[in-house]
Amino acid sequence: MNRRAPQLSLTEWSRRLFLAILLAVLGVAGWGLEQLRTIDQEVRVHRTEEARHELRSALLSVQSQAAQSLHKLAAWNETRQQLYDPGYYHYWLADRLTQMDTAALSGRAVQLYDRLGRALDGGLPGLPKTLPAGPPNVLLAPAGSDERHLFIYAPVAGGNDKPIGYIGAQVDLPHALSGLNGLTYTNPNGLHLLPAATGVLSGTALLDNFRYQMAADTDWQSLRQRILNTYLGLALVVLGGFLVQFLFIHHKLARPLKHFAERIYRLNTGDRELQAVQELSKPMPLAELEIVRQALQGFRHRLSEAYQSLESRNAAFRDQARRDAMTGVLNRRAFEEDWNALLEQASARPLTVALLLFDCDHFKAINDTYGHGTGDQVLKAICYVLGQVMRSVDHLYRLGGDEFATLLPHADEGQAMRLAQRCQRALEAHDFRQYKLKEAVSVSIGVAVDDIGRTDDLTRLQARADTAMYRAKRPGSARVHLHGKSEALDSTLVASPEVSALYRALADPTRFQFLYQPVVRLADGRAEYHEVLTRVRLGRDVMRPERFFEIVRNRRLEKDLDLAVLTRLHQELAAGAIPPGDGLAVNLFAQSLACTDILTMLLELPRSHPGNPFLLEITEHALNQEGADLAAPMHALREAGFRLALDDFGKAYSPLGHLAELPVQYLKVDPALTRQLHRDDTRGRMATRFAHLMREAGYVLMAEGVESAPQLERVRTLGFGYAQGYFLGRPAENLLHRTGAAASVLAGTPDGQNDPDAVEEGHQKTQ
């Protein structure tokens, strides 16, 4: 499946563009700096070569000048005279020699040598005592550590042009080089000569032993700095420009568009706050955004008008949904909504509520005798009379059939009784004979007053009002009865023992009786779960399930029953009545999943008892009305560790579309459908094919009502994962002393009766 690419905001695009420009500028700057470094290296190489050539030329020039000065001294008569007679040699060195024009030499650095090359008078300090071997008139490096001076010598010729001796002199190299005025690339003061191992160097070897400092190239350094400053300036200008552009886009485009998006989102979610948004009333700085603002402003006005029209229609629809179509009074849905509104008020401060229940006596006989048309007229007349007596703020609700109710907030027992008595007198005064009735019509009224603050307070208040109403129906009663707070329920519920027993059990869940029937996994015969079967005690007997479920449905007590059963189940688990590791299959009405208290209690089960697996069975026929609202809580339960099963599957024939939308893992096939599986007719083939279809769709099938060996073998052949029924195990009151009956059944030695008819009859009685 193709996924849509993530959408980026304008600010994010601008930020990425700015980052790309920054990287580009850094890349160009890096390239430019690399080019500048290459040029700098080339300049250095060039200057080094030029400095070497320049130094070679300078050394040759110094040698030439020194040689000229030395030859001038060698041709001087006084020099030859000193070699013939060195009697005043020191005077000659100190006085006469300084008068000669020998700029390239220093008078203190001249030494005369005899024909054998030995210094006269022992030699002067710092000069060679003996001339080195080699041709004369050559610039040589002295031995030792002298880094500033070079030594040059030349022969002194006699009358026959033969040397009578030699004259040598030291040359101050930095002084001589600085006098040339031609050094551009080298610094004369930075010259120094490394001492040679042989003591004598000349020519190229002499140049290689020179170390010198390059003269500063101020022109190139200045140009290089200007280039760097230019790069930096251009980078700052480019980045600053794009930063200004980014801020402009963010403040002038992105932020207004974000505000527009928020307003449109509020429109999408139905937020009415958009009608007072100030941004839509201010002109935008950009023409394109101003067009969008004006369009959105116009759309907002039209949407506001449409919203008001829709609100008025919805108000009418809500009123219709809250009203009984026949009598025109409020229905049970309105009763529950108004009760919840009272609970919200009671959460802030204590609230006393009076409940009045109205029930038409012998209404079934009226319907059977005179027909439903007359019965409807009687009900309409009762509603009309009661509406005339009640205040405009009081509401009359039709709870179902011939039963009506009204809620009186902030009313005490006296006020509630006075209203009930006025209603009774008005009903007695009304002429019902106009509807062709031969007998009088009477209405019994039960009154109960109590403080409310919790959800179960309605159950208690209804039970007390119901008790009072049945007491009012007693022969000789005044048709109006108040159930006092100190009055016990047991002493007054005589009109309907079943209703009395159910209300007592709802108020005290310990009155419920639990039976546990094994749900056997066919792969290994283990009872992986035990279904919790709820029973209501009625004296020494037990009320048949179909009877108290009928009362629950007629009085809309599904949520109350599930809440009480879950409370009892928590008590059983806490008391250790269920062994750790035993799985429990719990039945639940579908509409109860929308109740926060019930969902909270369900989610607490796996947290409090992690060792017990839980299977939640939801009745299939409720999905026709509740399926669309079950997905979210069922997903939450599945994430909490519950396994989910659809109970009575195949009985209500709910749309498969609802089933596909729910996270159901198991389908618990209804006993009626289980009995069809082994039949060799059209119904049997349809049931078998339907089982194959559901198993191929990925559901685990559970067969309910397996009452014989052929049925068991059939469901195993069809690939059912689990089975339940009398043939596999009877319901038991105690799980702590159970036996392994299921395993023996699968092994071929069933426990209990194997007569299909007898077992089927027992199953129907238990279920």
- Distance in angstroms (rounded) separating the CA atoms of residues 328 and 320: 9
Burial tier of 594 (Cβ tally within 10 Å: 0-12, 13-18, 19+): middle
Phi, psi of 432 (to 5 degrees): -85, -5
Residue 625 pLDDT greater than 50, yes or no: no
Mean pLDDT of all residues in the chain? 78
Query: Which residues, listed in sequence order, are joined to residue 400 by a DSSP beta bridge?
Result: 403
* 243 Cα distance to chain centroid: 32
Mean pLDDT of 690-700: 86
Phi, psi of 89 (to 5 degrees): -60, -45
CATH of 47-216, one of 3.30.43, 3.40.50, 3.30.450, 3.30.70: 3.30.450
Lowest average pLDDT, out of 397-411, 427-441, 478-492, goes to: 478-492
Q: Which pLDDT score is estimated for 180?
A: 66
Class at the top of the CATH hierarchy for domain 508-734: alpha beta
Beta carbons within 10 angstroms of residue 625's beta carbon? 12
The model carries a pTM of: 0.44
Pairing mode, if any, of strands 210-214 and 330-331?
unpaired
User: What sign does the dihedral 280-284-289-294 (CA atoms) show?
Assistant: positive
Q: Which pLDDT score is estimated for 627?
A: 45
Q: Which pLDDT score is estimated for 766?
A: 38
- CA–CA distances in Å: residue 339 to residues 21, 47, 234, 434, 504: 65, 101, 75, 36, 21
Return the half-sphere exposure (C-beta side, CA atoms, 13 A cut-off) of residue 718.
29
Mean pLDDT of 146-155: 75
Highest mean pLDDT among 20-24, 102-106, 448-452: 448-452
Residue 638 pLDDT greater than 70, yes or no: yes
pLDDT digits (tens, 9 = 90+) for 244-283: 877 877 777 777 777 766 766 665 665 555 444 445 666 7
Cβ distance 363 to 401 under 8 Å?
yes
Q: Which pLDDT score is estimated for 501?
A: 77
Q: Which pLDDT score is estimated for 200?
A: 58
Cβ distance 412 to 449 under 8 Å?
yes
pLDDT digits (tens, 9 = 90+) for 219-248: 788 888 888 888 788 888 888 887 887 787
pLDDT digits (tens, 9 = 90+) for 495-539: 467 777 787 788 778 888 889 999 999 999 899 999 999 988 877
pLDDT digits (tens, 9 = 90+) for 73-108: 888 888 888 888 887 887 787 777 776 655 556 545
Lowest average pLDDT, out of 51-65, 437-451, 617-631, goes to: 617-631
Tell me the DSSP string of 528-545: EEEEEEEEEEETTEEE-H
Reference 409, options 387, 391, 388; nearest CA is 391
Cβ distance 706 to 518 under 8 Å?
no
Q: Give domain limits for the chain.
A: 47-216, 276-319, 328-495, 508-734
Of the pLDDT bands very low, low, confident and very high (cuts 50, 70, 90), residue 370 is confident
Highest mean pLDDT among 47-51, 96-100, 552-556, 656-660: 47-51
Of the pLDDT bands very low, low, confident and very high (cuts 50, 70, 90), residue 722 is very high
Q: Which CATH superfamily is domain 328-495 in?
A: Reverse transcriptase/Diguanylate cyclase domain (3.30.70.270)
Q: Which pLDDT score is estimated for 8?
A: 66
Reference 443, options 494, 388, 381; nearest CA is 381
Name the helix (H) or strand (E) containing 12.
helix 10-74
Residue 382 pLDDT greater than 60, yes or no: yes
Of the pLDDT bands very low, low, confident and very high (cuts 50, 70, 90), residue 66 is confident
Return the half-sphere exposure (C-beta side, CA atoms, 13 A cut-off) of residue 287.
0
